[in-house]
Every structure is written in C-alpha cells, then in structure tokens.
C-alpha cells in the first residue's frame, strides 16, 4: 500500500517581500521534511505575494522572484516542493513550479485567468496551454491553479482521463461570506466527477482590502473530507493519500475506464517523471478542523485583516473616536482583539448634543477593553466656527452644514493625534452608511483604514452580540438604544434613513446582485423608499472613492470590486 504524504503549507506571505517569503517557504520545507513528507505544497504566487498588481510591470521584481525559485529548489532535497511564482518566457505567467533535488522539474502555467470582481489577471498574465502530469513511481499527480478547478472541463477532466490519482490545486482565494463552504462543495463535486483526490491549498493573510481565509483541505474520490486546516491561521497540514485505493476505485468505474480506453493523448499534455521513492512511514491522524458559524468567520476575517494591514505596513498603534455607539464600539473591540489593548487608543469628543448615556457607554467600553482614552470636547471650537461663519451664513437655517462641521472638528482631532504620535486612525463607518452617503467627508470618514466598511449595520449588531457571547465587553445599552449621530437635538438615524433591516436588503439587491430598481419594487419594497435609496447610492460614488480602504467580506464590496464612474448620468 503506497501512501503519499502531502504537507499543505498554508502560509501568510507579504506582497513584494520576496526575501521574507522565500525564507518562510524554506522554513516550512524543513518542517515538512521532519515528518517524512513526499510533497509539500504552497499557495498560488506565494513567492511574490498575492495580488502583486502592477509590481508585475517591474522587470527587477520578476527576476528577483525567479532567483527565489532557484534558491528554494536547492532546499528541496528528497522532497518534492510545489510553489506558486511568476514564470517568465516570452511573456509572464501565473505558475506552479515543481522543485526537486536542486532542480525545477516542471512548470505549470495557469490556464484560466479570472477577470472579474477583485481579480484582473488578464491585465498581467498570459494563459497557459500545457497540461502537466507528474509521474512518481508510476502514480500520476496533476497540477492546477485556483480558477482552473472552477471549470468542469480542462484541465481537471483531462488530468483524470490521463490517469491522475491526485490533483493538486494551489490558490489565492479571498474570503467573502459563504465562500469557504461554497468552495469546498465545488471541489467535492470535482473529486467525485473525476474520481480523484484533490489537494486544495489556499493562501492565508490580509492584503489591503482582501483577506485570505486558508481553510485548505483534502477531498477523497467519494467527495469526503480527509483533512482540513484552520481558518485565518498559518498551518502546515499533513495528510496521507492512499494511491492504491484511488487506483482501485478508478479501475472499477466503467465510465472512466471507457473514457481512458478511447482517449488519445493530446499534444499539450506533458508528463514529467520524477525519480522519487515514496517513503515508508508511520500512519498519522487525519486532522479535520470543525466548521464554525458564519458570524465567527466574519469576525475572524475582520480581526485578521486589520492585524495584517497594521503590521504589514509597519504601524504599531491605532486611534479611533469613541461615540458610545455600536459602530465605534465594535471597531474598538476588533482592534483590541487584533492588536492588544496597549496598541489601541480611544478618543471621546463630546458636544452639547452628546448624551450623558453615550459618554458613559464609551467609558464603560474602554474600561472593559482596558484601553487608554482621551476626552477632547468640541463645543468651544464649534462655537468659534459658527461665529466666524456667521456673517456669511446670516439668514440661513441650521442644516447638515452645521452637523458636518462637528464631524470635521472630530476628524481634525484624530488626525492631529495621528500626526503627533504616529497612530493610524481607524474610520468606524459601515457599509449601510457608505452606500447612501450617510457620512461626512473629512469628518467621520477620515482614517487610514476602515475595518467595517463592508459590514452592513444589521451585521454590525450580530457581530457585537457574537463577540459579547465570548466575553462581554460591549455595554447592553449600546446594543439596545436607537443609533444616532448626535449632531442635532434628539437625532436618530431613522429620521434620515429607512430602518436598517429594510435599507440593507435594498442595498444587497441593488449593489451585490445588480437587480434593477423596478424588480426590487416588484419584490414588495415600498417604491418611494427604493427609488430614494437607489438615488442615494448612485449619487454618492464620489464620497466612496475618497473613503479609506476596508476589509472585503461581502459578495461585492465598494472599491476595486465595484468600479462605477463618478461622472455618470445613467440612472436605473
């Protein structure tokens, strides 16, 4: 019985840190060797980090990545190493290199290049054409990269007909709500359809607005999970794949046997023989990490994405305004979980409209989290603003101008602290507000990063409740009181907006699903409300374009995931 030991190296690489990524890869190769591993597999473009974007236009960047491949190959003595890198021939390719005993034995170039959502690989890479099979002791292992496996046909089906018992698929697949489960179910279908075992290795880590969840796994020919790594953590996951058992399963299948008997090898199929003897080894336990509720995944994604953005960009501490509301309370909690209490600073900036309860709630939250706070009242400065502007504003009624002035004073305070101490400001706005422009440019929108930018208000409450179920830090009253910007007497969000449970559903349909306005109305939503919400979404693109980036968690986030023109006269 030949069991192939595969190590799934789910690592967190940093875009552009080719030297650091290479050192980490080599470290993991050494770990894998200690367990008598036959093949160690790393994620897509692990050497360069993903996505490298326009760094790919720099020849020096490409060449340094190629030198890294050579260095890693020298460390691959008696262990087959599969790494994602940028291959350069007449053009550049998103590739998987097969390294063994100091040599690059084979290179597979990605065939299906995603060009939707946050992906624009067609901008950079050429499509591969050759299908690559590794022949190890008479057993065949096929290679594929990320998007390739989403297509029922080539290269997966061809690899199966060519005799592959195992298909290795390396990935840089970012997280969004529901995607880990959907991804896993899709791979199970591919495994069952082709009677192969699939090794799915995914990147983990935050990169700007993207966060990669890991969740690497191995699926058997019957679609059952054999092993699964953790979510949002680096891990080296070991699994033993019974090649003889897969061979016997395939031999008994009439459909596959008939396909193979009538099949003629295509010109673009390259079979590479690797003279590696599969090691005899003691059986290891197959580890399967249990699934968690989706709300737990969302929370972990926000914590992980914030931590990586701060650390990878060489910041230490963050600062944010504490209003006593649900948004700032959740962001402060996420920040403490991501960075530690000593690296989070809270600022209370009360005005005459700030309720006593809001101040109490903000201070209670800060005490529960153990963070340092500063209180900087804005009332005197606000009155001075009004005094200076009074000759020009004379005769004009109070409106959003005066409300926005307060928000911009607070923004100035936060940016002053940022400049003086080097703290990065966290904006606390959510997706519901950003969708309809219920936010102030250069006010509450200031900041270097917006952790909950892609989180709907209704989800904000669910996340707060989830976090309190672990340990209670957010005061009950924050969860219970009606949300308010507190910029005028007795202000409530629902004075200016539809109830959030209605607003969020309309935004999801219009922004994420691209459902036309008339169809949304036909679903039973109030016509006047729908037209108003859609008008607000369309007319506030200019604001969103100036907002700080934040972590993508939904099917379609603002920014590179939804690229609408600012100057635009089309209306649905």
Does a structural domain hold residue 519? Answer: no
Residues 305, 247 share a domain: no
Does 570 reside within a domain? Answer: no
In a domain, 505, yes or no: no
397, 439: one domain: yes
Residues 374 and 466 in one domain: yes
CATH code for the domain in which residue 388 is found: 3.40.50.620
Q: Are residues 108 and 146 in the same domain?
A: yes
Question: CA 34, 37, 39, 40: dihedral to nearest 10 degrees?
Answer: -40
Q: What is the pLDDT of residues 87-142, one digit of tens each?
A: 999 899 999 999 999 999 999 999 999 998 899 999 999 999 999 999 998 999 99
The answer to whether residue 497 is domain-embedded is: no
Least confident of 98-102, 247-251, 258-262, 520-524: 258-262
DSSP letter assigned to residue 479: H
Residues 250 and 338 grouped into a single domain = no
Give the mean model confidence (pLDDT) for residues 271-288. Answer: 88
d(CA 236, CA 532): 51
The reply to whether 525 falls in a domain is: no
Q: Residues 389, 254: one domain?
A: no
Q: What digits encode the pLDDT tens for the residues 334-374?
A: 999 999 999 999 999 999 999 999 999 999 999 999 999 99
Same domain (yes/no): 244, 312: no
Q: Rounded CA gap, 79 and 214, in Å?
A: 23
Tell me what pLDDT residue 246 has: 93
Q: Which of 342, 313, 317, 345 is nearest to 332 (CA)?
A: 345
- Same domain, yes or no: 232 and 354: no
Round to whole Å and give the CA distance between 535 and 41. Answer: 49
Q: Is 146 a catalytic residue?
A: yes
Please state, in angstroms and as integers, the Cα–Cα distance from residue 10 to each residue in 40, 83, 263, following that order.
10, 11, 36
Q: Which of 44, 121, 147, 364 is catalytic?
A: 44
pLDDT over 90 at 492, yes or no: no
Question: In which band, very low, low, confident or very high, does the pLDDT at 237 lie, cut at 50, 70 and 90?
Answer: very high
Cα–Cα distance, 79 to 33 (Å, whole number): 7
Q: What tokens were used for 396?
A: 């004009």
Dihedral sign, Cα of residue 151, residue 155, residue 161, residue 164: negative
Alpha carbon 363 to its chain centroid, in Å, reads 32
Mean pLDDT of 149-174: 92
Would you give the distance in Å from CA 84 to the centre of its chain?
Answer: 19
Query: Among 242, 274, 306, which residue terminates a domain?
Result: 274
Spatial distance between the Cα atoms of 175 and 563, rounded to a whole number of angstroms: 19
Q: Is 285 a catalytic residue?
A: no
Name the domain count of the chain. 2
If you count them, how many residues does the chain have?
Answer: 572
The angle that helices 500-507 and 457-470 make with each other, rounded to 10 degrees, is: 110
Please check whether residues 261 and 299 belong to one and the same domain. Answer: no
Q: Using CA atoms, how far apart are residues 457 and 555, in angstroms rounded to an integer?
A: 16
Catalytic one of 3, 24, 110, 345:
110
Which residue, 229, 244, 274, sits at the end of a domain?
A: 274
The verdict on residue 44 lying in a domain is yes
| Domain identity same for 263 and 372 | no
258 and 307 together in one domain? no
CATH number at residue 103: 3.60.110.10
Distance CA 22, CA 25 (A): 5
Within 317-456, where are the H helices?
326-339, 356-369, 379-393, 400-421, 431-436
The whole-number pLDDT of residue 284 equals 87
**pTM of the model as a whole:** 0.94
Residue 553 CB neighbour total at 10 angstroms:
26
- Same-domain pairing of 200 and 241: yes
Dist CA 479 CA 330 (whole Å): 10
Q: Residues 381-406: what's their mean pLDDT?
A: 94
- The answer to whether 505 and 533 are in contact (CB under 8 A) is no
Residue 569 lies in a domain: no
Does the residue 555 lie in any domain?
no
Residue numbers of the domain that contains 28: 3-274
Distances (CA, A) of 22 to 32, 83, 223, 491: 15, 10, 34, 55
Which residue(s) pair with 218 in the sheet? 199, 227
- Distance between CA atoms of residues 92 and 84, nearest Å: 13
pLDDT at residue number 291: 87
- In tens, the pLDDT along 8-52 reads 999 999 999 999 999 999 999 999 999 999 999 999 999 999 999
Q: How far is CA 406 from CA 403, 411, 429, 453, in A?
A: 6, 9, 16, 21
* pLDDT > 70: percent of the chain: 100
Choice among 105, 140, 146, 541 that is catalytic? 146
Residues 6+ apart with CB under 8 A from 120: none
Question: Is residue 528 predicted with pLDDT exceeding 70?
Answer: yes
């Amino acid at each position: 019985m030949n069991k192939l030991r595969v190590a799934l190296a789910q690592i967190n690489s940093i875009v552009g840190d080719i030297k650091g990524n290479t050192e980490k890869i080599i470290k993991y190769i050494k770990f894998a060797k200690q367990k008598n591993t036959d093949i160690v597999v790393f994620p897509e473009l692990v050497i360069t980090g993903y996505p490298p974007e326009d760094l790919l236009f720099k020849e020096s960047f490409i060449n340094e990545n190629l030198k890294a491949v050579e260095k890693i190959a020298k460390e691959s003595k008696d262990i087959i190493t599969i790494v994602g890198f940028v291959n350069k021939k007449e053009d550049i390719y998103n590739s998987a290199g097969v390294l063994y005993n100091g040599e690059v034995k084979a290179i597979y170039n990605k065939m299906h290049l995603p060009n939707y959502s946050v992906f624009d690989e067609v901008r950079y890479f050429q499509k591969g054409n050759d299908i690559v099979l590794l022949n190890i002791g008479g057993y065949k292992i096929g290679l594929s990269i990320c998007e390739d496996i989403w297509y029922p046909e080539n290269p997966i089906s061809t690899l199966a007909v060519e005799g592959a018992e195992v298909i290795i698929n390396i990935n840089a697949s970012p997280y969004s709500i529901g995607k880990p489960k959907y991804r896993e179910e899709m791979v199970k279908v591919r495994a069952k359809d082709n009677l192969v075992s699939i090794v799915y290795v995914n990147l983990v880590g935050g990169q700007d607005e993207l966060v990669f969840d890991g969740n690497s796994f191995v699926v058997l020919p019957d679609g059952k999970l054999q092993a699964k790594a953790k979510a949002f953590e680096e891990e080296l996951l070991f699994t033993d794949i019974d090649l003889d058992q897969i061979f016997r399963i395939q031999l008994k299948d009439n459909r596959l046997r008939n396909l193979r008997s009538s099949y003629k090898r295509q010109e673009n199929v390259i079979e590479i023989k690797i003279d590696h003897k599969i090691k005899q080894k003691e059986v290891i336990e197959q580890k399967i990490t249990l699934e968690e509720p989706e709300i737990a995944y969302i929370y972990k994604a926000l914590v992980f994405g914030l931590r990586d953005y701060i650390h990878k960009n060489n910041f230490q501490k963050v600062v944010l305004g504490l209003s006593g509301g649900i948004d700032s309370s959740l962001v402060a909690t996420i920040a403490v979980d991501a960075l530690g209490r000593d690296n989070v600073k809270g600022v209370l900036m009360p005005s005459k409209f700030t309720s006593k309860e809001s101040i109490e709630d903000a201070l209670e939250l800060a005490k529960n989290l153990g963070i340092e706070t500063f209180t900087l009242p804005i009332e005197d400065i606000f009155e001075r603003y009004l005094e200076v502007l009074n000759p020009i504003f004379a005769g004009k009624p109070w409106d959003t101008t005066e409300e926005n002035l307060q928000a911009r004073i607070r923004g100035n305070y936060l940016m002053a602290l940022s400049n003086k101490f080097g703290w990065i400001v966290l904006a606390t706005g959510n997706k519901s507000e950003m969708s309809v422009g219920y936010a102030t440019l250069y006010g509450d929108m200031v900041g270097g990063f917006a952790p909950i930018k892609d989180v709907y208000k209704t989800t904000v409450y669910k996340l707060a409740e989830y976090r309190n179920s672990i340990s209670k830090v957010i005061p009950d009253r924050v969860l219970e009181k009606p949300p308010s910007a507190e910029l005028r007497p007795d202000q409530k969000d629902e004075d200016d907006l539809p109830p959030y449970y209605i607003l969020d559903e309309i935004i999801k349909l219009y922004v994420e699903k691209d459902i036309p306005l008339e169809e949304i109305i036909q679903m039973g939503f109030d016509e006047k409300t729908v037209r108003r919400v859609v008008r607000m979404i369309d007319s506030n693109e200019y604001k969103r374009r100036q907002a700080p980036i934040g972590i993508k968690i939904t099917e379609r986030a603002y920014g590179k995931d939804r690229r609408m023109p600012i100057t635009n006269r089309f209306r649905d």
